[in-house]
Chain A
């Protein structure tokens, strides 16, 4: 219950308007067999080893899979992150990537 004897304040919302509209994700793949996966890395937390292991496991399950090494794209968390990320769509398409695995968020 509010105490009317004390000063009352009408407080404004302190946040800023969101600029991002909700967008749909890309269509998922119907199979991984025969598809090309691009590894995209921020150069930390042993992502190179993680990708290597995933590549082995995925290849065992989907023998026709192909992979694009993370070195093709540059560091997604380095000094030129914005440029690397901005160039990503074009590079992925040029290299024939069907999907991306991006790490490491740790």
Chain B
């Protein structure tokens, strides 16, 4: 909303942005990042989603109307943005505890102790990239800060990463800066959290866990790279709770999930990175934002046909309001992510199913009645009518959503089988799955190659290749 207002202001057209009372602090912080710290906002009392039509009308008339008029007729007082340190400035000198107290006080820390980012430690990270420290990988909203290689190293140190993780961190920030991912939405109400999925020989080279407990903290590479993502969102993108981060409840960061490439290769299935165009053996990562997820326990059956109902049922149950990213708020941006434990994937493959066939079968089975799909859209978008027939007639959605006028017809939750993303990982011998609820356009999956420095092998040999 502010981004739209700012576009108008830049074109010489005055604006007023309607903001709920509880979002006023966010509006102030976001305005500053957009370069308009005095952007004009008119408050909306309470939340329209919880008001009767009469109360909403009364609130708009008594509370918001004058704000809008004032915004458009009176120039808001100018506000300045305070100066900041330079990228290489030392902001605190002291003991471990003193540095950590300073970083907590200045909101640079996530609450856990951070490793003090000294020049020596940062330079150790910079050895693991051929890029220059001042290279800019993108500009991150809402703070509108440059994502530099230098700042990646600084936050990598703080997160407890090892210097050799630097190529992974750079690829992660390249993904964060990708417009398709939409980092600017990382502080929205549902509080979805990012997941990094890793592929390639670098999994073993750096000691990432890809078996039992793959989503559990306790493995340095998985844990610290996951923590790095959240620290970078905080310090460079600018997502601070009670300011730009308006997650209602939120989650802590997710550890990196690495795929079990040995099992994937044995099955002859493409790895997850193939979804993003990378060939087998390429070091690559994918990111996406998920509002939640659920473990699907004791998936049982000797054939893929027997296992399929568990998966289809789990997918449908995990998705309710998020289907508006398939039809509505973000057309064709829903990409459900399913983790299969290796033994489940092996059983499916043993039945002669390829990964593609599995996707086709999930697409065919993970469905809900059209009337239910439309009801969910109505309830969650508060748009009084949703009609899949009209959407199809208007050319906005594919025919699979309207193959007849029967309200009981079963419709999918995504547009095509390929929209399902499947990763093989976790405990080798357990018959479980995990389904993530995707946040659609507010964290669309993107993949990036991990570029190793030319002297990677020499650096690793020098470091003793402790994880090989």
Pair count A-B, CB < 8 A: 287
Contact A78 B17 (CB under 8 A): no
Contact B99 A9 (CB under 8 A): yes
Contact B35 A22 (CB under 8 A): yes
B70: nearest residue on chain A (CB-CB)? A28
What 6 A-B pairs come out closest when comparing CB atoms? A103-B18, A89-B11, A20-B35, A16-B145, A9-B116, A106-B20
16 residue pairs from A and B, CB less than 8 Å apart: A13-B87, A16-B87, A18-B84, A23-B10, A26-B14, A27-B75, A40-B4, A45-B20, A46-B56, A58-B65, A78-B331, A89-B11, A99-B72, A101-B17, A102-B5, A104-B18
Q: Which residue in A19, A84, A101 is a CB contact (below 8 Å) of B18?
A: A101
Contacts of B140 in A (CB 8 A): 16
Q: Which residue in A28, A50, A82 is a CB contact (below 8 Å) of B44?
A: A50
Total interface residues on B, CB under 8 Å, equals: 105
Check if A69 is an interface residue, CB within 8 A of chain B.
no
Q: Which residue in B44, B75, B84 is a CB contact (below 8 Å) of A15?
A: B84
Check if A71 is an interface residue, CB within 8 A of chain B.
no
Q: Which residue in A19, A28, A92, A103 is a CB contact (below 8 Å) of B11?
A: A92
Check if B394 is an interface residue, CB within 8 A of chain A.
no
Check if B223 is an interface residue, CB within 8 A of chain A.
no
Contact A14 B108 (CB under 8 A): yes
Within residues 132 to 172 of chain B, which ones have a CB less than 8 A from any CB in chain A?
A: 139-140, 143-148, 151, 154-155, 158
Contacts of B41 in A (CB 8 A): 105
Contact A25 B145 (CB under 8 A): no
Chain A contact-residue range equals 35 or more
Contact flags (1/0) for A1-43 with B, using CB distance below 8 Å? 0110011111111111111111101111111100001001011
Contact A99 B16 (CB under 8 A): yes
Binding stretch for chain A, among B90-98, B274-282, B285-293? B90-98
Contact B72 A14 (CB under 8 A): no
A25: nearest residue on chain B (CB-CB)? B9
Contact A103 B1 (CB under 8 A): yes
B33: nearest residue on chain A (CB-CB)? A20
Binding stretch for chain A, among B46-54, B249-257, B335-343? B46-54
Contact A11 B14 (CB under 8 A): no
Contact A44 B56 (CB under 8 A): no
Q: Which residue in A13, A22, A27, A106 is a CB contact (below 8 Å) of B89?
A: A13
Check if B297 is an interface residue, CB within 8 A of chain A.
no
Contacts of A12 in B (CB 8 A): 87-91, 117-119, 122, 154
Contacts of B331 in A (CB 8 A): 78-79
Residues of B within 8 A of A (CB): 1-5, 7-20, 22-23, 26-27, 33-42, 44, 47-49, 53, 56-57, 60-61, 64-65, 68-69, 72-76, 80-81, 84-96, 98-99, 102-103, 108, 116-119, 122, 139-140, 143-148, 151, 154-155, 158, 179, 182, 231, 235-236, 325, 328-333, 381-383, 440-441
Q: Which residue in A25, A40, A49 is a CB contact (below 8 Å) of B48?
A: A49
Q: Chain B nearest CB: distance from A7 CB in Å?
A: 7
Contact B20 A104 (CB under 8 A): yes
Contact A10 B93 (CB under 8 A): yes
Q: Which residue in B39, B57, B102, B325 is a CB contact (below 8 Å) of A11?
A: B102
Contacts of B90 in A (CB 8 A): 10-13
Measured in the bound complex, the distance between the Cα atoms of B182 and A82 in whole Å is 10
Contact A106 B4 (CB under 8 A): no
A89: nearest residue on chain B (CB-CB)? B11
Contact B95 A2 (CB under 8 A): yes
Contacts of B179 in A (CB 8 A): 82
A79: nearest residue on chain B (CB-CB)? B330
Q: Chain B nearest CB: distance from A51 CB in Å?
A: 9
